[in-house]
Amino acid sequence: MPGGQYQVANTKRHHSLYSLTDESEAGPDDEKADGPPRLTPLQKLTTDKDEKTIKELIIGRRVGFYKVRGEIGCGTFSRVKLAFHALTKDKVALKILDKTRLDGQAQRLLSKEISSMECLQHPNVVCLYEVVETPSRLYLVLEYAGGGDLHNRIYTEGKMSDNDSKITFAQILAAITYMHNINVIHRDLKAENVLFTSSGCVKVADFGFSTQVSNCNVALDTFCGSPPYAAPELFRDECYLGPSVDVWAMGVVLFFMVTGSMPFRAETMGKLRRCVIECAYTVPPWVPGPCQRLIKGILKKAPAQRYAVDQMLGCDWLLPVQFLWPPEPASLDSERGDLAEEVEEEVRGLLEELGFSTEHLQNNQPKNSRSPVTGVYRILLHRAQKRRGCDSPPVVRGMVRDPKREGLRAYRGLRHTSKFCVLS
């Protein structure tokens, strides 16, 4: 059985939400009178060998600790299905890859994707919980966003309002800034890869073309991503700097959000190439002036002339955006340390209720994504963090009275959020 190696010999009862009686009232002979010792949820799951479970394993309806349900997406080499963790009951997205169809290049990209996601821990980046491998398939267990993607939202509802655009773009910017600060380049940012949670929090997803560099000034030479979002230097077959390419794609996403259409449109790839290289686009006059200036500052032909993320963080258009998480910079260190300890204590208590012992945790460190114990730990950790508001979207406050003061505060808040790592 999956996870069978994590069965525990200790059958001591746990006082928890799974207990049916109050252990404080139990006498010394109650255990004998009650019959066999009560199994923990983990023990029940790993010793369960009924016919239904075996059938689910054979037909792929269960993978490790996850019960697999319907398909929610697909890609060139993968399918994404909805799944539930059998112990925590949390929804997850299961990205399924057929190893027999992966050539050498695809395997290298997959390795980079896992490596990038392993080091990314931010409220606006999709979380990797666990990696499950079988002889023929590889499963990436990911955070389930559940609110659809930006492309479908605009396709069905039309352009976004100015305030909604600010809230969405500020979160994309926070995610990309954080990634660049730790030398991760996305290289495939597009509206389809911007997901929403049910609460409206933005999650940047799909790191299949991502790469880690020693520093962001390292020149890259692989053409990646979707042509409508590709920067001019990519179409010119030049070496390029990763951050500039991500910034250009952010400009295309912003244009799409506020207008409902793409800045570069053409019937053929050749015509699209010419449009992008010539930087031939027009911002509709009804787009607010501060937003127009931001778009024009990003979509510049020469990479060196494009806005850097620091300039974007402090632009006029984003001044009214305020993040509710994390705490104010002045109190971050002390509050973050206290919060980390509080969250860790809660998570370990929940793990104990499920039946995971101290030995399990010692033998399966949280950094090892290929351990089912790590999967449970990360799911419970993320749940505890969400309860404390880390997945709350930012808000747009009222009129800015003092542009210099408010601009500095907004800049610091957004820059601070871009550096924030989800506690681990």
pLDDT in tens, 352-374: 899 888 777 777 666 778 888 88
Higher-confidence residue of 338 and 263: namely: 263
Tell me, yes or no, whether 52 lies in a domain: no
Average pLDDT over residues 284-312: 95
Both 301 and 234 in one domain: the answer is: yes
| Residues 258, 154: Cα–Cα separation, whole Å | 9
Query: What rounded mean pLDDT belongs to the chain?
Result: 82
Q: What pTM value is reported for the model?
A: 0.82
Both 341 and 312 in one domain: the answer is: no
Tell me, yes or no, whether 225 lies in a domain: yes
Both 168 and 299 in one domain: the answer is: yes
Higher-confidence residue of 172 and 403: namely: 172
- The amino acid at residue 205 is A
The answer to whether 229 and 190 are in contact (CB under 8 A) is yes
Both 74 and 16 in one domain: the answer is: no
Tell me, yes or no, whether 175 lies in a domain: yes
Both 205 and 305 in one domain: the answer is: yes
- Residue where one domain finishes, among candidates 85, 116, 143: 143
* First-to-final CA distance of the chain: 29
Where does the pLDDT of residue 192 fall: very low under 50, low under 70, confident under 90, or very high at 90 and above?
very high
Q: What is the CATH number of the domain that holds 199?
A: 1.10.510.10
Tell me, yes or no, whether 324 lies in a domain: no
Q: What is the CATH number of the domain that holds 61?
A: 3.30.200.20
Q: Nearest Cα to 87, choosing from 275, 346, 352, 362? A: 352
Where does the pLDDT of residue 342 fall: very low under 50, low under 70, confident under 90, or very high at 90 and above?
confident
What φ, ψ does residue 195 adopt, rounded to 5°? -105, 160
Where does the pLDDT of residue 232 fall: very low under 50, low under 70, confident under 90, or very high at 90 and above?
very high
Q: Nearest Cα to 418, choosing from 289, 295, 255, 243? A: 243
Both 333 and 301 in one domain: the answer is: no
Average pLDDT over residues 152-175: 96
Is 90 marked active-site? Answer: no
Both 139 and 217 in one domain: the answer is: no
What pLDDT, in 10s, does the model give residues 116-134? 999 899 999 999 999 999 8
Annotated binding site for ATP: 95
- Residue where one domain finishes, among candidates 143, 165, 184: 143
> Cβ atoms within 10 A of the Cβ of 328, count?
11
- Both tokens of 41, joined, read 């949820």
Tell me, yes or no, whether 323 lies in a domain: no
The total domain count for the chain is 4
Residues 149, 188, 246, 391: which is the catalytic one? Answer: 188
Both 184 and 241 in one domain: the answer is: yes
219, pLDDT greater than 70: yes
pLDDT at 14: 34
The answer to whether 172 and 250 are in contact (CB under 8 A) is yes
Both 276 and 168 in one domain: the answer is: yes
Can you give the residue range of the structural domain that contains 402? Answer: 329-419
Both 151 and 266 in one domain: the answer is: yes
Cα distances (Å, whole numbers) of residue 242 to 9, 212, 217:
51, 10, 8
With a pLDDT cut of 90, the percent of the chain lying above it is 51
Tell me, yes or no, whether 424 lies in a domain: no
Point out the least confidently predicted range of 82-96, 119-133, 355-369, 379-393: 355-369
Tell me, yes or no, whether 335 lies in a domain: yes
Both 102 and 240 in one domain: the answer is: no
Tell me, yes or no, whether 10 lies in a domain: yes
Both 172 and 272 in one domain: the answer is: yes
- Residue where one domain finishes, among candidates 143, 162, 193: 143
